Amino acid sequence: MSRTPKPLIHSNIAYSTPDRIVVRGKDLPNEVLGHMNLGDFAFLQLTGREATREQSAMFNAILITLVEHGMTPSAIAARMTYAGAPESLQAAVAAGLCGLGSVFVGSMEAACRMLSEALPYTSADVSDADLERIARDTVAAYRERGAIVPGLGHPLHKPIDPRTPRLFQLAADNGMAGRYVKLMKLIGAEAERASGKTLPINATGAIGAICCEFGFPWRIVRGFGVMARAIGLVGHIMEEGEKPMAIEIWQRIEDEASAHLRG
Amino acid sequence: MSRTPKPLIHSNIAYSTPDRIVVRGKDLPNEVLGHMNLGDFAFLQLTGREATREQSAMFNAILITLVEHGMTPSAIAARMTYAGAPESLQAAVAAGLCGLGSVFVGSMEAACRMLSEALPYTSADVSDADLERIARDTVAAYRERGAIVPGLGHPLHKPIDPRTPRLFQLAADNGMAGRYVKLMKLIGAEAERASGKTLPINATGAIGAICCEFGFPWRIVRGFGVMARAIGLVGHIMEEGEKPMAIEIWQRIEDEASAHLRG
Amino acid sequence: MSRTPKPLIHSNIAYSTPDRIVVRGKDLPNEVLGHMNLGDFAFLQLTGREATREQSAMFNAILITLVEHGMTPSAIAARMTYAGAPESLQAAVAAGLCGLGSVFVGSMEAACRMLSEALPYTSADVSDADLERIARDTVAAYRERGAIVPGLGHPLHKPIDPRTPRLFQLAADNGMAGRYVKLMKLIGAEAERASGKTLPINATGAIGAICCEFGFPWRIVRGFGVMARAIGLVGHIMEEGEKPMAIEIWQRIEDEASAHLRG
Amino acid sequence: MSRTPKPLIHSNIAYSTPDRIVVRGKDLPNEVLGHMNLGDFAFLQLTGREATREQSAMFNAILITLVEHGMTPSAIAARMTYAGAPESLQAAVAAGLCGLGSVFVGSMEAACRMLSEALPYTSADVSDADLERIARDTVAAYRERGAIVPGLGHPLHKPIDPRTPRLFQLAADNGMAGRYVKLMKLIGAEAERASGKTLPINATGAIGAICCEFGFPWRIVRGFGVMARAIGLVGHIMEEGEKPMAIEIWQRIEDEASAHLRG
């Protein structure tokens, strides 16, 4: 009884024939267009499953939270790039995305990783006492190696990050405020207790926890920030095309940075 | 009566205060999260206006059409990049986006440009005879300079591109099958007549026309493809992480490309 | 008499075997390392030929001219990206390169294109009178379509760009001040005469002309700027790691850009 | 006695005035062009110091080694990108660079880091016995945490990497075969002894050790690979423009990857 070996180059995402385009098993023109919104289709593209009504509400909210954060380094890089290569809008978006790394979008990934490693998705039911113990151990481990617990605190949004209660409320409304949301809250409280500082859960901590409720592998969580920010950056580039600021920024920085050399 | 001059560095997209995050005039936590889907928020981010129900349906359909096109050069570039730098998922998406230029996403932009230059958004009402004349003139001008009319024909999807009738039906359902959709169809028919070839309107031609119905400036149309494809690429990278193909592709190409040199 | 068809995937640049690495026909360890400088190896990589002593002097000078231009939009984009993803230095360089398009590096490419299209590389000998006529026709054609003649004028370097006389002197010293350098000078003089403005040849005009002396296809000329600037950007990133400015720039711009919204 | 505080935005790399362009204290037209090669200027740009004759020979050799490695994932990504956006050569180079991360260029950085952390640059003289002890401890620490010692072994170049003896010979010829080259060799020998495998020092191990001889901070070492590979990628793009392979690769992969879905 022979079996055909799996081909080495093999993708399950999509295929086309002359009269069909099928993504994740769905006929794109007939089963998707007009029937789904962009967030739901992103869910389908990434997971291969159709979002339930609750997942749709929650996943759209997560992605929307990540679209636009003001005049970030990422937006500035995109605008600088567009000023030099306006014929390559795609390269300006790409430049803006390149900086979504460990510093700015990483804390979301780090929160998801922390939670899913402290309490694996395959774990059996845990009691509240278990969660409290896990929270204590987790915070202690971060403190022992001098690392910052991800997903806590915010330089501007004080005393609370206004996105957090709203995201947690949506999680509760959609049946997704389970053990990971609980654990994130316990970790926040324990980090405050242990450090003596006010450390409210920020948006990336809330999103990291909700990503665990979805069961997403932590490695892909950064991707949500990347795809959402691509939308935000197109908005910045559109505005840069109409009301440019890149050249003015350049000249100011150039002038100031080398003033001491020009003497 | 003096007026403060507009500051040189000036953006109307978003702002934050300690307790608020406001995007395009809307309070993000309270007025957006849980109330909009991702496509609608993209519309808000880009235009500063809330999408009507019809615009929402149409804009989500356009973006979804652009998310996933199979194992494209863009997806291959993203997977190759991820194989070398798995710690920089954002750079893999960026690499994949860099190639969305004149060849692969440009025809959508070019179709929108062709239509909006042939019939400016500010034009008064035009008769069907006017549209027929514009179509003839447009096709003649492209043919005269030996250029390809954008948005027509497809190497695989024959005799028709299955996305086109569905997009045009959605445009009709949502009151957006106006003079630009008409003009695109007339241009397609005229191009077929003049060239003697079968040239069905492809998805990028349909989207270019519908973007004109929205009144989008042609310069931003490529951006829709870029932001949608960012979603698609995260899906490819997620699959590459689980079922890698990049290394196998690399070895095959390396072997074949230099076989004649190794002798 | 059958012939093997050329393989479809086929590169003539390099190959490796267990004990050899050969680039452009040269054994890398034994014939290149210790025998060439980086500029000469770039010439070999790009052209497949070894640079003569004169070509080496000139090509190294061209590339060096393009390495560092101060706190450019490209350098700012790279620094912004590094601030967000310090673990992905390569992505910061990539982000900085993305903006080397039509506005900032394009004039070099445009000058080379203008000259090599006005006087094709395959042209027979031309008299001075021919060159003068070509210069007049070229400038007239640009003026007629309202376009700027590339390679002329500079916002800061007035009355002359100090790199230009030096590059032209090196061209003369190395037997490369031929008909393209002459033509560029004639075009500059004609553009000044026709416009009544002072339009000295800038560095990109000089480089464009010298690239024509080499016989480089204009499509690759931008690549010289890209590869040289990669070196410059690594320098900026190294400095950013030691004396950061990105966060300070971000905060200033964020504050100023949305001040009118925060009220 | 007051002191002017250092400005917050402050760079020591370069400045321009109407008649001067100065990089790292050198007048670019008069002191650099015609006097330096590209590798030497890279050394100046990065370190602020002029390379000695020995440093020049060694640094040029390191960079050249990193320019071209055949049809790598990086080269494939660049070619794929160029096929989609031939008008944005810079974006194709950027896409190719994005993948120079932990897997493909990282081992050079990792070797430099391993060596400079095991034996800090500020260390006093060490005896051969000290070096042997450091080598043993280093290998033991890697083995204990199940990590691969960087800079050793090569999938193709067996039993030795032909670049390594040549790079070490150049180091010896130029007075740079000091304690870090010695330590790298001892680590290689110890790793072979401890693992029972043949683990010759590869090119990235040799370069990592020589970078330590220069005293470069390990964080910048990846940058040498990035800037060198930018040159290599321009060569690949130039060839892709003349003898394209990207479309053929795309079609083969597309066909194979989704064959099981098309049924």
Contact C85/B at CB under 8 A: yes
A5 band by pLDDT with thresholds 50, 70 and 90? low
Q: Which residue of D has its CA nearest to B98?
A: D91
Pseudo-torsion of CA B113, B55, B64, A26, nearest 10°? Answer: -130
Quick one: DSSP state of residue D152? B
DSSP states along chain B: ---PPPPSS---SEEEETTEEEETTEEIIIIITTT--HHHHHHHHHHSSPPPHHHHHHHHHHHHHHH--SS-HHHHHHHHHHHH-TT-HHHHHHHHHTT-STTTTHHHHHHHHHHHHHS-TT-----HHHHHHHHHHHHHHHHHTTPPPTTB--SSS-S--THHHHHHHHHHHTT--SHHHHHHHHHHHHHHHHH-S---B-HHHHHHHHHHHHT--HHHHHHHHHHHHHHHHHHHHHHHHHS--HHHHHHHHHHHHTHHHH-
CA C256-C259-C262 angle, to 5 degrees, is 150
Rounded to the nearest integer, the mean pLDDT of chain C is 95
Contact D22/A at CB under 8 A: yes
Taking contacts as CB-CB distances below 8 angstroms, the residues of chain B near D226 are: none
CA–CA gap between residue A195 and residue D142 (Å, rounded): 33
Higher pLDDT, D28 or B104: D28
Most C CBs within 10 Å, among B12, B13, B15, B82, to test the C interface: B15
D120 band by pLDDT with thresholds 50, 70 and 90? very high
Contact B5/A at CB under 8 A: no
The pair of three-digit structure tokens given for residue B222, joined into one six-digit string: 């490529």
Contact C94/B at CB under 8 A: yes
List of residues 6+ apart from D161 with CB closer than 8 A:
D154, D200, D201, D202, D203, D206
Q: Is the peptide bond before B159 cis (omega within 30 degrees of 0)?
A: yes
C6 band by pLDDT with thresholds 50, 70 and 90? low
With a cut of 80, say whether residue A26 has pLDDT above it.
Answer: yes
Contact B88/D at CB under 8 A: yes
Q: What is the pLDDT of residue D105?
A: 86
Q: Which residue of D has its CA nearest to C61?
A: D33
C263 band by pLDDT with thresholds 50, 70 and 90? confident
Q: Which residue of D has its CA nearest to A254?
A: D15
Most C CBs within 10 Å, among A69, A74, A76, A204, to test the C interface: A76
- Yes or no, beta carbons of A230 and B64 under 8 Å apart: no
- Nearest CB to C18 within list D100, D156, D245: D156
- Yes or no, beta carbons of D105 and C97 under 8 Å apart: no
ipTM rounded to 2 decimals = 0.96
Query: Which residues are registered as beta bridge partners of D110?
Result: none
Contact A241/C at CB under 8 A: no
D5 band by pLDDT with thresholds 50, 70 and 90? low
- Phi first, then psi: what are they for A14, rounded to 5°? -155, 160
- Yes or no, beta carbons of A21 and B248 under 8 Å apart: no
A1 band by pLDDT with thresholds 50, 70 and 90? very low
- Yes or no, beta carbons of A72 and C102 under 8 Å apart: no
With a cut of 60, say whether residue A153 has pLDDT above it.
Answer: yes
Most B CBs within 10 Å, among D72, D80, D260, to test the B interface: D80
Residue contacts between B and D (CB atoms, under 8 Å): 142
Kindly state the percentage of chain D with pLDDT values over 90.
Answer: 94
Q: Give which of D233, D138, D125 is closest to D178, Cα–Cα.
A: D125
List of residues 6+ apart from C221 with CB closer than 8 A:
C108, C109, C112, C113, C207, C208, C211
Taking residues C46-53, report their average pLDDT: 97
Rounded to the nearest integer, the mean pLDDT of chain A is 95
Q: What is the pLDDT of residue B3?
A: 59
Domains and CATH numbers, chain C: 11-51 (no CATH), 106-219 (1.10.230.10)
Q: What is the pLDDT of residue C105?
A: 86
Query: Which residues are registered as beta bridge partners of A15?
Result: A22
> Which element (helix H / strand E) includes D218?
helix D218-242
Mean pLDDT, contiguous 10-residue spans, chain B (263 residues): 67 95 97 98 98 98 97 98 97 98 91 98 95 98 96 93 98 98 98 96 97 97 97 98 96 94 86
Residues D235-259 have pLDDT tens digits of 999 999 999 999 999 999 999 999 9
SS3 call for D123: coil
Residue D133 Cα, gap to closest chain C Cα (Å)? 31
Q: What is the pLDDT of residue C21?
A: 96
Q: What is the pLDDT of residue B33?
A: 98
Contact C198/D at CB under 8 A: no
- Nearest CB to D23 within list C16, C68, C233: C68
- Yes or no, beta carbons of D99 and B80 under 8 Å apart: yes
The pair of three-digit structure tokens given for residue B30, joined into one six-digit string: 């309270």
Burial class (CB in 10 A: 0-12, 13-18, 19+), A246: buried
For C:113-152, CB contacts with D below 8 A are none
Residue C122 Cα, gap to closest chain D Cα (Å)? 18
Contact C201/D at CB under 8 A: no
